[in-house]
């Protein structure tokens, strides 16, 4: 597939909505309260219901290739640990600042950007591999990030990590939507017509609203210094991680083409917006987190186009 085709069919419409949201936010046609309200609707209501309905009606595979999950998140965890060490050695960051750097290098923007991109590129057939990643990333990485940040404050990581992990699994609305939808599917229960229609309408609003909310939210973040660390984070997340995942998928995992394509595209997503939110919450490496999030999203227009063009699976 030519890069021009990838840009026209997938990247342009998806990032076009992000840019529209960014412009509206930058012009302050929506204030922070309005953007937050839209984000709460998307992430607490629309996307969990989209995940529930999709998993309830999709054709589930007979067996799950767990090497898919192990390969991706095993690599991402290695990047997290390596980048935690790199930030301390290369930039002399504190443990808390290093945690923000490592999180940004290994945590992708799965919810607002990954879901629209994958579904636009590959359709509903990609729902199962896509939602498996969505279900696992936050419960796996949030406890790590919380443990590092709280450990930097309290001097102890192990106890914090266990508590954060349990809380993260219980409170994750995306995981709940996916699991409940899968249970309905396994039980062979059909959703009542009116209920399915309501879920379908809400689900159709999730993708454009998520993209718009992402752009509007980014307009409130500032490129405010710490460029060496931020640019390094962007290069690792946008280039090094997807290349590593691609090599692992290509040579070691033996996945079906669709699963491999979803895996690589998800790896190519920009720095997750939660990188900045965690940095702000713990008042640590805020400039790095904000700058990297904005730059990485802009750079991903090119890098994702290249990935889509290089993938062998037709759109």
HSE, CB side, 13 Å, CA atoms: give it for residue 155.
0
pLDDT along the chain (315 residues), means of 10: 64 91 94 92 92 90 85 97 95 93 96 92 91 89 84 63 54 81 90 93 93 92 82 97 96 92 96 90 89 94 91 68
What does the DSSP assignment read for 65-120?
-HHHHHHHHHHHHHHHHHHHHHHHHHS---HHHHHHHHHHHH-B-IIIIIHHHHHH
Backbone φ and ψ of 314, nearest 5°: -70, 150
CB 294 within 8 A of CB 223: yes
The pLDDT assigned to 153 comes to 76
Biggest alpha carbon–alpha carbon distance for the chain: 59
E strands of 12-87, at which residues?
none
CA angle 229, 218, 95 (to 5 degrees): 35
The pLDDT assigned to 168 comes to 53
The pLDDT assigned to 7 comes to 65
CA–chain centroid gap for 184, Å, is 25
Residue from 44, 45, 60, 48 nearest 183 by CA? 60
Instruction: Quote the CA–CA distance of 281 and 34 in Å, as a whole number.
Output: 20
The pLDDT assigned to 315 comes to 59
The pLDDT assigned to 45 comes to 93
Assigned token pair, 69 = 């999950």
Q: How many CB atoms lie within 10 A of CB 182?
A: 19
Instruction: Quote the CA–CA distance of 77 and 97 in Å, as a whole number.
Output: 17
The pLDDT assigned to 313 comes to 65
Assigned token pair, 109 = 């923007």
CB 10 within 8 A of CB 120: yes
């Amino acid at each position: 597939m030519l890069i021009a085709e990838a840009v026209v069919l997938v990247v342009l419409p998806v990032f076009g909505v992000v840019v529209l949201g960014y412009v509206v936010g930058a012009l302050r046609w929506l204030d922070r309260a309005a953007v937050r309200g839209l984000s709460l609707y998307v992430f607490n209501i629309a996307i969990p219901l989209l995940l529930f309905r999709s998993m309830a009606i999709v054709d589930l595979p007979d067996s799950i290739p767990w090497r898919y999950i192990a390969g991706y998140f095993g690599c991402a965890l290695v990047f997290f640990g390596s980048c935690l060490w790199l930030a301390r050695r290369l930039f002399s960051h504190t443990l808390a600042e290093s945690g923000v750097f490592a999180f940004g290098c290994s945590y992708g923007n799965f919810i607002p950007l990954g879901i629209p991109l994958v579904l636009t590129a590959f359709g509903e057939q990609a729902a199962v591999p896509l939602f498996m990643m969505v279900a696992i990333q936050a419960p796996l990485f949030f406890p790590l990030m919380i443990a590092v940040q709280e450990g930097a404050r309290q001097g102890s990581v192990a106890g914090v990590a266990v508590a954060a992990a349990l809380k993260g699994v219980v409170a994750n609305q995306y995981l709940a939507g996916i699991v409940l939808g899968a249970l309905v599917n396994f039980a062979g229960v059909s959703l009542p017509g009116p209920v399915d229609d309501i879920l379908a309408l809400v689900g159709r609003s999730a993708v454009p609203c998520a993209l718009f909310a992402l752009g509007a939210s980014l307009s409130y973040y500032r490129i405010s210094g710490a460029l060496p660390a931020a640019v390094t984070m962007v290069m690792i997340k946008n280039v090094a991680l997807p290349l590593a995942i691609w090599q692992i998928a290509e040579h070691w995992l033996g996945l079906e083409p669709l699963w491999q394509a979803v895996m690589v595209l998800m790896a190519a997503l920009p720095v997750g917006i939660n990188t900045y939110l965690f940095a702000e919450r713990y008042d640590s490496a805020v400039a790095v987190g904000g700058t990297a999030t904005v730059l990485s999203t802009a750079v991903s227009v090119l890098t994702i186009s290249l990935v889509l063009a290089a993938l062998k699976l037709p759109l």
